[in-house]
Structure 1
Amino acid sequence: MDSEKEYINITEIQKIMLDILRDVITFCNNNDYHYILTGGSALGATRHKGFIPWDDDMDIALPRNEYEQFIHKYQPQYSNLVKLNSENTKNWLYPYTRISDSKTVAEGRWAEVQNGVYVDIFPIDAISGNKTGQIIGYLKMKYLDVMRNSTRRIAISKEEPFWWLKPLLIKFAKRKSTGEWVNKMERLAQKSNRKHFNYSNAFSLFVVQGLNKRRENFNKDMYFKRNKAVFEGESVFVPGNVNQYLTQMYGNWENIPNNIEKKTHARFYRKGI
């Protein structure tokens, strides 16, 4: 019953995320890792100098080689933080790493989740330098992502497009576990990075193209020539040409639309309540 759970509000969620962010960027700075804030976190740093008021997740990205080092070497400094990824978590649900607060639990409406309040860590991968190759890569990743998401569905909304087909899709996808689809996504991204790193000027958060499509495809300098910004009083790094980045991601990013849909990713409650 919801009444038996102590759900936490957005202020509490953001405080926990900020503690996670501080721990992660301290490790990155101490090890000379070239992280950047991406997505809504880059938007928040640039427009709000901190969190977008309703945002309940954070996004950090690292070049693939540093990401691989990070997932093996990073150890949280706080006992309540845990590192979750496909290498240490059975049947992990995502093709990237999540640093999670173990004292909280996320409650998804439509899909299974395995974490508490969190910060996502993504790899930055080289991709094809031509449009056709990028489209082919996107379609491959999109297919795998649809299969991955289908295996973790716990409910279907009749407001979804083609909702009546979803049960068949879920049955088809569940021939493999979520973790198997995740591994396929990770291998596809790693293969792309190996193939294109020395020959292409195009890079992307390839593992999340199933969600973000090709909006995060940029030239190398966007991800590797960083700019400083401030996030809730902390010095952080954002993409090189942050105006171009945010415009491609969000359009007219400088103004907050009056009718914006303030989506959240999950509800969170304290463990043991």
Structure 2
Amino acid sequence: MKTNITTRDIQLLELEALIELKKLCDDNGLKFYLRGGSVMGAVKYKGFVPWDDDVDIAVPRKDFEKLIELSQTDWSRKFEIISYHYQEDAGCYFPRVFLKKQFIKEYGVPENNRHGVSVIDILPLDGAPDSNFKQKIYFAHVYFLRIMGSLTTKNLTGHKLHRRILLRFLYLFGIDKKYSQTDIYEKLDRLYSSHSIEDSKFIGTITGSLYTKEIFPKEVWGDGELLDFETEKFLVPTQFDSYLKKLYGDDYLTSEPSDKAKNWKKHIKEVE
């Protein structure tokens, strides 16, 4: 068992999982883009952001649904995909790639989830309404259902103060007892998939942490651009500069967060 695990050790484990997932997708004609901080890493560092310890990908809805089906095949010796579609206690709307439990001790990686060690988040890439008015209604509907999804987790950790207050208020009225977590996730799934990529001018990963900021004109994503990421090449949004400026600011190439912010962003706090 390895001791003194570093962020770099976590990154290499995630890269291994990412390469295996890419092979699964390539073998089945499926497509995915790097998302969020992983795009920043590809553009700015040709790999992981040095202090980042997670990988996010965005999968167009049709491929996303096929990938969920394939997740139940024996696609990897070391990794597995956990999704609420097949595991009722998944605890998250979007699927995640996990290191199988029998390998956790071998790698010596601290668990970061009740299912073990989560290494990749898999988010659907969906369409959104075209008009500003319809988008506002859509965003409000998404926000409400995401709040309801948080309510069913029974865990307020990591939520901002205003959300914690709202969740406690809803608990008082027993709203969490009226719907199961799966009920809420199915409602989210229907809402997200109600606007196809093909028929939409705007698309994005609204289920992501940056919420409405993750919706872009379709041409920003485009067909994707292959960029170096560690030892491999992966797709990023075609207009990756516009993508990163909206998410992280115009100075994303030159600015860096404080040491406190770097540590806050980590998903596994016990590593160096």
**TM-score normalised by structure 1 residue count:** 0.83
Q: 2:265 — aligned with what?
A: 264
User: CA offset at residue 67 of structure 1?
Assistant: 1.0
User: CA offset at residue 20 of structure 1?
Assistant: 0.6
- Deviations 1:20-72, CA, capped at 9 Å, x for gaps: 10001122223332211010111111111111112121111121111111111
Q: 2:107 — aligned with what?
A: none
User: Mean alpha-carbon deviation: is it higher for 250-259 or for 161-170?
Assistant: 161-170
What is the correspondence of 1:1-273 to structure 2 with a 5 Å cutoff? 8-74=5-71, 75=73, 77-103=75-101, 104=104, 106-107=111-112, 113-154=114-155, 160-161=161-162, 163=164, 166-170=167-171, 171-193=174-196, 197-208=197-208, 211-251=209-249, 252-257=251-256, 259=258, 261-262=261-262, 263-264=264-265, 266-267=267-268
Structure 2: distance between partners of 1:231 and 1:225: 18
Amino acid paired to 1:101: L
User: CA offset at residue 157 of structure 1?
Assistant: 8.1
Counterpart contact for 1:156–1:166, Cα < 8 Å: no
Structure 2: distance between partners of 1:166 and 1:185: 18
Structure 2: distance between partners of 1:156 and 1:120: 19
Amino acid paired to 2:15: L
For residue 228 of structure 2, give the secondary structure of its aligned residue in structure 1: strand
Counterpart contact for 1:34–1:224, Cα < 8 Å: no
Structure 1: distance between partners of 2:207 and 2:165: 28
For residue 253 of structure 1, give the secondary structure of its aligned residue in structure 2: coil
Amino acid paired to 2:253: E
Distance 1:236 1:198, change over 3 A: closer
Q: Give 5+ residue unaligned stretches, structure 1.
A: 1-5
Distance 1:19 1:268, change over 3 A: farther
For residue 42 of structure 1, give the secondary structure of its aligned residue in structure 2: helix
Q: 1:3 — aligned with what?
A: none
For residue 59 of structure 2, give the secondary structure of its aligned residue in structure 1: strand
Q: Give 5+ residue unaligned stretches, structure 2.
A: 105-109
Distance 1:254 1:221, change over 3 A: same
Structure 2: distance between partners of 1:237 and 1:157: 30
- Deviations 1:141-160, CA, capped at 9 Å, x for gaps: 11111121122234558983
Counterpart contact for 1:82–1:102, Cα < 8 Å: yes
User: Mean alpha-carbon deviation: is it higher for 79-88 or for 160-169?
Assistant: 160-169
For residue 90 of structure 1, give the secondary structure of its aligned residue in structure 2: coil
**TM-score normalised by structure 2 residue count:** 0.83
Distance 1:69 1:224, change over 3 A: farther
Counterpart contact for 1:93–1:182, Cα < 8 Å: no
